[in-house]
Structure 1
């Protein structure tokens, strides 16, 4: 099965602007896009991209494939047309080729204090009921791959907007029954431009794990308006 890969290349130290490079290779039916990139890199070792786990767990290989943000390791070649256009995640500075600088994403992550805040060190483990634990479903699975945040136009133009993935993470900690940082995180969210989300749902479409950052944003807005966690 022959496929044509049209890949955006850019090395800031030698290129003035990004350009497209075409590779035509024979692919196996069960290959993913990441498998194809590995095959290309076997004869062009200058092609640069991130990858670690190859199993959709780490989120490192997030990139834009035929106009949609996806994980290369989970995108099957057989599901794509003959011509496959690959570029780095939009909205982030390019380090090289398909590798982007996610520093802003990680800095925003630290803003929401992504850890359990307690009033005093626990004497034993915290116990959660099944109901309390189920409140975290659809939140804790986030990979922080940046796919949803990269798809958000508000994130592109508003430096104060934390991004859909970060709001989803904030919701995860606010709803955690073991956490005591509710009031602190509420104040952080008040300054986060959360109301600038326009609900176009790009983030929902982009999430490789099928999560719903927009739903988390709406829940956080409800908390800010009416108080309470639920």
Structure 2
């Protein structure tokens, strides 16, 4: 018999991981409960030791967990410190009180747009909103006019579909001649579209829009701003601009805007959304004027 065959015969079969016994499962669950209780106790002590605290009234909803299918508000008392944001307070509540508390966040620099919330009756970015600027208790809800997935998380799929519906990409008629030649843009034109490029796709404007709330097909302020960014860029080809204008001129486009300025008021990047919509309306009128 060869050495290889001998080694093969003597190799032991790997043992399958044993399933935890019912007693071990109960002990694990007991330890998890004890750890959660200890975190909550420490959180209460920190609140007592803190000079100031703030109460969060947080919207809760979980359609997949029995007993939590009905929307409700949970209260969390959080120790306050200078510079604390709403996102900081939510993270504290999740880490010290209830690890199932669900919300989106990423960059914490008001760039990703993932933590848009409805705070004390207004759309705001959690990472940008200072707790010190808010009335206590701080009421935190998911963005209105959106389907709630869980707690403070809303379904953004429809919003993204509207953003892509305006075909936000260039299709210039002429390309630079040289291989390394740039697609040049004048400083004046760059200044004109600069604010429109600041959009972070947070959805706050769409959530604040009464028209979008009643018309699910309305493109919405963010998508129209997206169209503005390309339509007003001098590098855009004329034929492509006409196609884009046809998209925003349709029944559920710019003409649905009633100039309420709610989108402009809540935009965390201070984009003059309503002005951009009105300018596209003027462009639509000019493009359809016929002179005989």
TM-score range, shorter chain: over 0.9
Unaligned stretches of 5+ residues in structure 2: 1-51
- Alignment deviations for residues 18-56 of structure 1 (CA, whole Å, 9 cap, x no partner): 111111111112111111111111121100000000001
Task: Judge conservation of contact 2:247–2:253 (CA < 8 Å) in 1.
Answer: no
Q: Deviations over 1:143-188 (max 9, x none)?
A: 1100011000110111221111111111111011111220110111
Cα deviation 1:110-156 (Å, max 9, x = unaligned): 11011111236544320111111111121100111000110001101
The equivalent of 1:29 in structure 2 is: 82
Q: Is the 8 A contact 2:164 2:223 kept in 1?
A: no
Distance 1:159 1:50 in 2: 24
Structure 1 residue runs of 4 or more that deviate by more than 4 Å after TM superposition? 120-123
TM alignment of 1:144-163, pairs within 5 A = 144-163=201-220
Distance in 2 between the 1:38 and 1:50 partners? 10
Matches within 5 A, 1:109-188: 109-119=163-173, 122-123=176-177, 124-180=181-237, 181-188=240-247
Q: Which has the higher contact order (CA 8 A, sep 6+)?
A: 1
* Structure possessing the higher radius of gyration over alpha carbons: 2
Gaps of 5+ in 1: none
- Equivalent residue number for residue 227 of structure 1: 287
Give the root-mean-square deviation of aligned CA atoms. Answer: 1.4
Partner of 1:3: 54
Q: Does 1:217 align with 2:280?
A: no
Which TM-score applies when normalising by structure 1?
Answer: 0.95
Distance in 2, Cα, partners of 1:220 & 1:210:
19
Structure 2 counterpart SS, 1:139:
helix
**Which is richer in helix?**
2
Change (3 A) 1:54 1:193: same
* Whole-Å separation in 2 of the counterparts to 1:216 and 1:77: 32
Q: Is the 8 A contact 1:92 1:150 kept in 2?
A: yes
CA distance in 1 between counterparts of 2:217 and 2:284 reads 17
Distance between the aligned counterparts of 2:150 and 2:248, measured in 1?
33
Measured in 2, the distance between the counterparts of 1:128 and 1:23 equals: 51
TM-score with structure 2 length normalisation?
0.75
Q: Which moved more, 1:122-131 or 1:54-63?
A: 122-131
Post-superposition offset of 1:90: 0.5
2: CA distance, partners of 1:193 / 1:127: 30
